[in-house]
Amino acid sequence: MTRHLVLFTIYTAAGLALLIGLGVWQLQRLHWKEGIIAQIEARVHAPPVTLKEALAESRAGKDISYLRVTTEGRFDHGKERYLYAVTDEGVGWHVITPLTTQDGEVVLIDRGVVPDAFRDPATRSQGEVEGTVTITGLARQPEIQGHFTPDNEPGQNRWFWRDLDGLTRSMFPGSQPEVAPFVIEAEPSDVPGGWPRGGATRLDIPNNHLQYAITWFLLAFCLLIIYVVYVRSRMRPPATPVAGHGSDR
């Protein structure tokens, strides 16, 4: 085997190892994602826990994402904040409002989405419910700003990612109360006037890892075929020339 063929074999083996390794990694990711989806599915259909129970689990370091939580308290509508959303009807806003329970606990409630035309609470005054309300929804952890996510604009009350600390500071300038370290995204409910519309939690978790794994394994198979074809072409003995049968004159 020539030196050129040896190097080609080494590079091919390295490429195969890389491609197969990526395929196996995607299968591991598939198993991990299926576990997350199963957990979310179980949580969103489970009986709700109380806010105190959710707080205890969160403070114990447990992941409470999508845990169904119920609580009672009063909204402070004057402190509501608006988180950008894209809906089937176009641009909209999540209405995030602090709620204080009878025990003095404060939690931010994502009450749901309103179209851009109803961002101003004066256009939906019926939905600014006073008195004690009962809220049931899904606990969501604070977000991290993505590379392509715009900066929040607290001064204009325009938020593009769920910065819990920033929201809390803007709602309670100066002395800040202890606020639950998660947001509750409210389930659909009969809100006077129809806005905000709850149930805006996105539950369609993408899971494309099987397709990615198949892609990597197919690329590995193609590389192997290319290697075999190339090696066979290099190892084939040269053709023996056929002697001519010319006649003497």
Beta bridge partners of 209: none
184 pLDDT higher than 60: yes
Give me the phi and psi of 115, to 5 degrees please: -65, 160
Helix, strand or coil, per DSSP, at residue 196:
coil
| Range name among 66-80, 94-108, 224-238 with the lowest pLDDT average | 224-238
Instruction: Please state the rounded mean pLDDT for residues 95-110.
Output: 96
Structure confidence at residue 242 (pLDDT): 63
Helix or strand run (H / E) with residue 217: helix 209-235
Cβ proximity of 70 and 135 under 8 Å:
yes
> What angle do helix axes 209-235 and 3-44 make, rounded to 10 degrees?
170
Q: 201-224: per-residue pLDDT in tens? A: 888 888 999 999 999 999 999 999
Instruction: Please state the rounded mean pLDDT for residues 60-73.
Output: 95
Instruction: Please state the rounded mean pLDDT for residues 95-116.
Output: 96
Q: May I ask the CATH architecture of the domain 67-194?
A: Beta Barrel (2.40)
Tokens 């209405």 correspond to 95
Structure confidence at residue 241 (pLDDT): 65
pLDDT bin (cut points 50, 70, 90) of residue 75 is very high
| Range name among 43-57, 203-217, 232-246 with the lowest pLDDT average | 232-246
How far is residue 32's CA from residue 34's CA, in Å, rounded to a whole number? 6
User: Shortest CA distance to 79 belongs to which of 104, 106, 102?
Assistant: 106
161 pLDDT higher than 70: yes
How far is residue 40's CA from residue 237's CA, in Å, rounded to a whole number? 62
How far is residue 21's CA from residue 213's CA, in Å, rounded to a whole number? 10
User: Shortest CA distance to 165 belongs to which of 186, 184, 143?
Assistant: 143
Cβ proximity of 191 and 198 under 8 Å:
yes
Structure confidence at residue 98 (pLDDT): 97
How would you classify the pairing of strands 81-87 and 90-100?
antiparallel
How far is residue 128's CA from residue 155's CA, in Å, rounded to a whole number? 22
131 pLDDT higher than 70: yes
**Pick the residue with more confidence: 187 or 4?**
187
Backbone torsion region of residue 222, taken as left when φ is above 0, otherwise alpha when ψ lies between -120 and 50, otherwise beta: alpha
User: Shortest CA distance to 93 belongs to which of 170, 196, 230, 167?
Assistant: 196
Instruction: Please state the rounded mean pLDDT for residues 32-47.
Output: 94
Cβ proximity of 18 and 224 under 8 Å:
no
Give me the phi and psi of 160, to 5 degrees please: -115, -10
Cβ proximity of 73 and 186 under 8 Å:
no
**Pick the residue with more confidence: 200 or 118?**
118
Share of the chain above pLDDT 70, in %: 95
All structural domains of the chain with their residue ranges: 3-36+209-234, 67-194
Q: 5-19: per-residue pLDDT in tens? A: 889 999 999 999 999
Instruction: Please state the rounded mean pLDDT for residues 26-48.
Output: 95
